[in-house]
Amino acid sequence: MADSFSKKENFKKKIQKQKEKALKREERKTSNNKGKSLDEMLMYVDANGQLTSTPPDHAEKAEINVDDIRLGAAPIEAEEIRKTGIITFFSEKGYGFITEDKSKENIFFHSNNCAEPVKKGNKVSYEKEKSPKGFSAVDIQLVK
């Protein structure tokens, strides 16, 4: 039986793809960087620790003060004890949430921790305290 036209075309495409693949393989073999000597691949490290192909200039040597080198983690800056925010939710059951002004973080509070009666939309100042379920606001006072 004779092959149909589409079978012949598909066979031609398959042969063409195999030829292209073989050409690409040969091209990769001729242009690969494996097996080069160290002189051909020589790289240098500049003063900033970046790789470069140009040799360093030994005339410009920066002096480093040993006291300026800090080992370990960066120091933790003390944050403000008193924070401000706006009450964005307040339930008649006595709890709500304050959205902190700087970080826009929501912090839970209960009306027992309020010095005066508060309502939704009030600007308040408070102290942040770690509780078993996350952070909560205590010592809440209205800001006038």
Q: Which long-range contacts (CB under 8 A, 24 or more apart) does 98-107 make?
A: 98/124, 98/126, 98/137, 98/140, 107/135, 107/136, 107/137
63 within some domain: no
Percent of the chain residues past pLDDT 70, beyond the cut: 89
Task: Give the residue numbers spanning the domain of 20.
Answer: 1-56
75 within some domain: no
Tell me the average pLDDT of the chain.
86
Are 47 and 86 members of one domain? no
66 within some domain: no
Contact, 100 vs 117, CB < 8 A? no
Are 90 and 52 members of one domain? no
Report the number of distinct structural domains present in the chain: 2
23 within some domain: yes
Q: Is the per-residue pLDDT at 138 higher than 80? A: yes
65 within some domain: no
- For residue range 109-119, what is the model confidence (pLDDT) as tens digits? 999 999 899 99
CATH of the domain at 132: 2.40.50.140
Examine the fold and report which residue of 40, 56, 72 is the final residue of a domain before the chain moves on. 56
Note the pLDDT of residue 36.
Answer: 63
77 within some domain: no
Note the pLDDT of residue 130.
Answer: 92
125 within some domain: yes
